[in-house]
Amino acid sequence: MSSRVSRQVKRWIAMGVFAAVLATVFVMLGQWQLRRLDERRQSNAVVEAHRDLPVAPYQEVMTGTIGDDDQWFRVTATGTYTADQFQVRYRSLDGAYGSEAVAVLETTQGDFLLVNRGFLVRQPGYPDGVLPAPPSGEVTVTGYVRRNDRGDEGAMTPHENQVR
C-alpha cells in the first residue's frame, strides 16, 4: 500500500511542477505579447507623427543612417532610373505571395536611391516573373523613407539581381 501511495504522491508532485512550469510559460508569453504590442504602438506613433507632414526633398530627410524613428517621412526625388533593378523575393502582401521590384534612381544631385516600384504577385507553380522595365527619361517620385531590412548577410547580398 505504501508504494502505491508513494507513486500517487510522486504523480501529484509531478503534475504540480508541470502546472507551475506551464503557468510560468503562459505568463512569459503574455509579457512577450505585451512587449510586441508596445513595439507596434511605438511604430504606429512614428507613422502617425509623420503622416501629416508635408512632402520634403529627400536630401532634407535622408542625412545619415535611417533608423526606426526616421522612417515614414514622405519625400520626393527627381532623376533617371539606371539599368539596375533588384527583385526582393519571398514577400507577402494582403495574403498574396510574390516579390517586390526595386530600381536604382540616380537623382539630379548625383545620389543613388533605391525605389520600391511595387509588388508582383507570384503565380502558384511558376517562378517569379520578369521585372517590368522602369520608366525612361527624367521622373519625379514621391514615397516614404524606409530603413533597410535587417537579416542574414547571405539573404541581403544580391545574387543575379535577386535578394531575399
91-135 per-position pLDDT tens digit: 878 888 888 889 999 999 999 999 999 888 887 766 666 788 899
Give backbone dihedrals phi and psi of 54, rounded to 5 degrees, phi first: -70, 155
Query: 128 and 98 in contact (C-beta within 8 Å)?
Result: yes
* Residues belonging to the chain: 164
Query: 143 and 78 in contact (C-beta within 8 Å)?
Result: no
Q: Write the pLDDT tens digit of every residue in 15-63.
A: 999 999 999 999 999 999 999 998 888 888 877 887 888 988 988 888 8
Q: Is 36 helix (H, G, I), strand (E, B) or coil?
A: helix
In this predicted model, which residue has the larger pLDDT, 142 or 148? Answer: 142
Strongest mean pLDDT among 11-25, 59-73, 79-93: 11-25
